[in-house]
Amino acid sequence: MNDTQVFETENVRVTCYDASLPRMVVSFDIWRKDRSGFPPPKPSGFYKQNGLAYLTIQSAHNDWYLSTDLPKLRKILSRFTKQFDHITALGFSMGGYGALLLSRALHLNQVVLVSPQSSIFPARAPFDDRYLQEAMRLDPALDTLAEYPRRGLRGVLLYDPSDMIDTQHTAIITGLYPNIIATPLPFGGHPATQAITQANLFAKIQHELLRRPVRAREFIRLHKQARRHSPVYQNRLSRYLADRNARAP
């Protein structure tokens, strides 16, 4: 598996595997507790076997890709990704935000977003107080997702409608990106694909990324198939039913 170092600073690292292939999948790093620098590189044989290059964008910090390297990163990515015929991105939570933030620079054709944030700054997302410490260390002027949305971008946004914070982020994002389909996976948690992952069906998500376009109904089908095998789903559903019964007259 051939790898190309596209960009690297102390904040962000971009690696492309099998860059000679015509189509590409992009993945993004996620928020991690007790993060200490870059995670280990994770090449994927699956994408190569299916004729796709694979680009990984990794962060050394829980910074939502809002480092001082962002302007240069955009320029480098824009030049590099022009060679590909079709580009799909997969992003979870912080990674979903990153996919949207960099969608123009990456020339993205479609995305699969899982429980992404529309912003972590209180001025733009006052309903979300999960990442206030991280937001205090970052420059809100770099948070341009709402100002320059790539409105033609297509794809699906997977979210748990029982999670009110993620539901509000979903409403904002789909308002900015009208061709991204909000796709509810009830009681999936954050991220909303936990039931699918716990049922060992994540490979099915990878297979769906090969399609043009990806299908919202396929993620719903996988979630339904996975529900009885997921402790997260069962626990969240039980809490919901208990709360509903407690409120009943």
Domain boundaries, the chain: 3-247
pLDDT score of 162: 96
**Rounded to the nearest 5°, which phi and psi values hold at 130?**
-75, -25
DSSP codes of every residue in 161-222: TT-HHHHHHHHHHHHH-TTEEEEE-TT--SSTTHHHHHTT-HHHHHHHTTSSS--HHHHHHH
Structure tokens at 223: 């979630």
Q: Which residue has the tokens 């999670």?
A: 163
Share of the chain above pLDDT 90, in %: 88
- Torsion, Cα of 141, 101, 145, 216 (10° steps): -160
Q: How confident is the model at residue 1 (pLDDT cuts 50, 70, 90)?
A: low
Distance CA 237, CA 10 (A): 42
* pLDDT exceeds 80 at position 135: yes
Q: In terms of C-beta density within 10 A (0-12 exposed, 13-18 middle, 19 or more buried), how is residue 78 classed?
A: middle
Share of the chain above pLDDT 70, in %: 100
33-80 pLDDT per residue, tens? 988 899 888 888 899 999 999 999 999 999 999 999 999 999 999 999
Question: Quick check: 101 and 71 in contact, CB under 8 A?
Answer: no
Q: What is the CATH number that goes with domain 3-247?
A: 3.40.50
Rounded to an integer, the average pLDDT of 162-179 is 97
